[in-house]
């Protein structure tokens, strides 16, 4: 069964810190991994997509890495700002077995709530 875990569930830091957000998944047979940001009461904004054949992707102050064999991904946020405050979700696209519907789908973690204090 594919499960995605994000620890810790919440993090509060002062402005300017470099941050590492962790994501782990139980089955390495994934198509890709995607990081999202969600502001309170809003939809999801896609931040980065890493294909299973890739090791990392970068966008501005964000860098995401993928170690498929160990079932881990990290999202690195450089020089954090109060505007980075949001919930960050990790999701893997994988084929899941009958217990999870028997089809290819995105499996989400529960998210990590980040607060960056000015």
Report the interface residues with another protein, using CB under 8 A.
31-32, 34, 36, 41-46, 49, 51, 89, 91, 93, 100-101, 103-106, 108-111
Measured in degrees and rounded to the nearest 5, phi and psi for residue 115 equal: -120, 120
Q: CB 18 → another protein: shortest distance, Å?
A: 25
CA distances from 37 to 16, 99, 118 (A): 19, 28, 20
Is residue 108 within 8 A of residue 7, CB to CB? The reply is: no
Q: CB 32 → another protein: shortest distance, Å?
A: 6
Q: CB 36 → another protein: shortest distance, Å?
A: 7
Nearer to another protein, 32 or 63 (CB): 32
Is residue 84 within 8 A of residue 60, CB to CB? The reply is: no
């Amino acid at each position: 069964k594919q499960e995605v875990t994000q620890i810790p569930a919440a993090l509060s830091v002062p402005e300017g810190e470099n941050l590492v957000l962790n994501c782990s998944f139980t089955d390495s047979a994934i198509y890709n991994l995607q990081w999202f940001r969600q502001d309170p009461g809003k939809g999801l904004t896609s931040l980065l997509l890493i294909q299973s054949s890739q090791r990392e992707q970068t966008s501005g102050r964000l860098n995401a890495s993928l170690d498929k064999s160990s079932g881990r991904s990290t999202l690195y946020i450089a020089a954090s700002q109060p505007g980075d405050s949001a919930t960050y979700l990790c999701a893997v696209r994988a084929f899941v077995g009958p217990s999870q519907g028997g089809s290819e789908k995105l499996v989400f973690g529960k998210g990590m709530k980040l607060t960056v204090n000015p």
